[in-house]
Amino acid sequence: MEKQFSIYSERVEILRKRNMSIDNSSEEKILLNKYNYYNLINGYKDPFLYKGTSPNERYITGTRISELEALLKFDTSLRLLFLREILKIEEIIKNQIVQSFYHYHLYEEPGNTEIERVNLHRDSEYLRRKYYDLTDLYTVYTNNSYGVVSTTVSFNHPRRNCTRWDRQSTYDNYIATVYRTLGQQRKNKNDSIKSYLEQHGYMPMWILMNVLTFGNVSHLFTLQKRDVQMDIINSLNLNSTPSISDDLSIVNTSRILQILSIYRNICAHNERFYITKIKVPIDDIYMNFGNKLPNTVDPTLGRRLNDSQRKKRLNARQGVYSLIFIISLFMNKKELNDFIIEIRNEFKKLEDRLSTIPIDEIERFMGLNFDWSSLIKN
């Protein structure tokens, strides 16, 4: 059925038929006219609906528009809070990729000529294929009955369900993006990067980083040679699991960069944040992630998770908790504690404005219906 535009009175009638409590006060009218109807109602209605009522939606008795607005404002505050931290991490990662790339190719990689080293600051040199690893990589991951996610890495096709890391295509797309970006920069007016290009005729990698997206940077990490990747990982202290292989460490670091990139775009473009599901797996062994999830069991004891426990663990893994975990990897104890307090304060503000549902229901929708603030600090 096609959706037709509706005026204020028609919107009110639709919501009343669905059991929303709407009086004729000016406040209710202001709220309905203040926000895009789709963004406010469709974006934040789910926690306030009786379960199992779709497609004939019915709001929990007593639900008011002001509660949906409170959830929208909560979501907006979280976006800004998380975007602030993601941008800090983005700057750290961009800088470290540059540092590790040049340290390896200038001082450690055998076979580079003196001319290549002298010109490595030029895009015509550092973008050459020889500086990147373009071999295919295959990964297979499992989520077993203990709720444990693990990945197998192979450079040969394993002949079963797998994810292929096509680094040749990734490189080609990356190069096309870089030169498209350089072309756009040359057209900009009164831009410092344009001035640099006109004056020098090339773009050093450390300046290029300023105009690359986080998604571009994530791909750039994937393309690096193994020694460069491990130097980045070690420099960022993402190597605290002695039993993890280098390959697995590289794959999981690529995944957390991918997750950061997805959430950065969500935050920057004001998309709904609080119940976003990201199905990019992080191995339990990686940076002790598994022990920071709810319902952790020791497989050696032979006890498996029931369906409810596995669901709670999966919801935490795919929800905003994974982002909190990733951000925590770049924080010291005080920074993490302060960050948790800020998140908790936003929950408290929302709780004070909810009358129809408990704050626990919002936490459940977000996959945070467990003692996440204690587990993340373990």
Q: Which residues on adjacent β-strands are paired with residue 137?
A: 165
Q: Are 309 and 147 in contact (CB under 8 A)?
A: yes
What pLDDT band is residue 11 in, cutting at 50, 70 and 90?
confident
Instruction: Classify residue 165 by its DSSP letter.
Output: E
Closest by alpha carbon to 50, among 359, 355, 368, 357?
Answer: 357
Mean pLDDT of 12-39: 82
Tell me the whole-structure pTM to 2 decimals.
Answer: 0.92
Dihedral sign (CA 112, 113, 119, 123):
negative
Residues 159-188: tens digit of each pLDDT: 677 888 999 999 999 999 999 988 888 887
Residues 50-93: tens digit of each pLDDT: 987 566 789 999 999 999 999 999 999 999 999 999 999 999 99
